[in-house]
């Protein structure tokens, strides 16, 4: 299957986007390299392609959005893992965050709860040859306990409270990056320090669509 177009114009716009991300504090070379290499416009509706490299969120399907490039880069930097790390993504959405994590050399397990969006993104993954280790339709609150433990878990929707099941699926030293709250949310990072011990850090306000239970 032929890949979608990634023109020199798109690549130039991507370089400008990455320059902005660096100005805003993105320094991880793996994150920068991934943001430079992944064509964000592939993951957007055709009518919005001309806006793909603006630092804004846009609607995709099923009342969901593709996050700001800065948010994608910031969360990718916060998980702080190396190549080959085992990462669970909660909320596949458009697949853009998934593609960035794959471009960082990570092993990705990803869950989407919206059937319409799951199927749309599955078709795109097939078209561009993006193959997560596992991609399922399911309830992100439950995680994937049979596939854990994970080096990192990254949540791309705003949880009203901390899902304890996800904490239990971290390796010792593993990190959960999750926005918690209503509107706005506070970005949190929980690092597992022992069987029952976790360190908590906060990283300011962000806005995400709500994290919903079950699958639809």
Q: Mapping DSSP to helix (H, G, I), strand (E, B) and coil, where does residue 110 land?
A: strand
Residue 9, CA distances (Å) to 15, 16, 50 in order:
10, 11, 10
Q: How far apart are CA 70 and CA 188, in angstroms?
A: 16
Neighbours of 134 (CB within 10 A): 13
Please say if 67 is a catalytic residue.
yes
Among 67, 76, 94, 161, the active-site one is 67
- Are β-strands 107-112 and 58-59 bridged in parallel, bridged antiparallel, or unpaired? unpaired
Q: How far apart are CA 139 and CA 5, in angstroms?
A: 33
Judge whether 4 and 39 are in contact, CB under 8 Å. yes
Could you give the residue numbers annotated as active site?
A: 67
């Amino acid at each position: 299957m032929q890949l979608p177009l990634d023109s020199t114009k798109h690549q130039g716009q991507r370089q400008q986007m990455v320059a902005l991300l660096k100005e805003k504090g993105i320094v991880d070379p793996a994150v920068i390299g991934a943001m430079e290499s992944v064509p964000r416009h592939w993951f957007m509706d055709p009518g919005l392609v001309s806006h793909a490299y603006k630092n804004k969120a846009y609607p995709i399907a099923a009342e969901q959005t593709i996050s700001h490039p800065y948010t994608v880069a910031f969360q990718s930097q916060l998980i702080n893992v190396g190549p080959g790390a085992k990462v669970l993504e909660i909320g596949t959405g458009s697949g853009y965050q998934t593609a960035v994590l794959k471009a960082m050399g990570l092993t990705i397990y990803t869950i989407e709860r919206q059937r319409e969006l799951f199927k749309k993104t599955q078709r795109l993954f097939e078209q561009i040859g993006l193959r997560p280790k596992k991609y399922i339709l399911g309830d992100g609150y439950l995680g994937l306990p049979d596939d854990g433990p994970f080096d990192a878990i990254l949540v791309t929707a705003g949880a009203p409270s901390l899902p304890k099941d996800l904490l239990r699926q971290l390796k010792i030293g593993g990190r959960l990056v999750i926005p918690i709250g209503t509107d706005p949310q506070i970005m949190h990072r929980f690092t597992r320090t022992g069987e029952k011990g976790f360190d908590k850090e906060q990283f300011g306000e962000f806005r995400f669509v709500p994290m919903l239970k079950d699958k639809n």
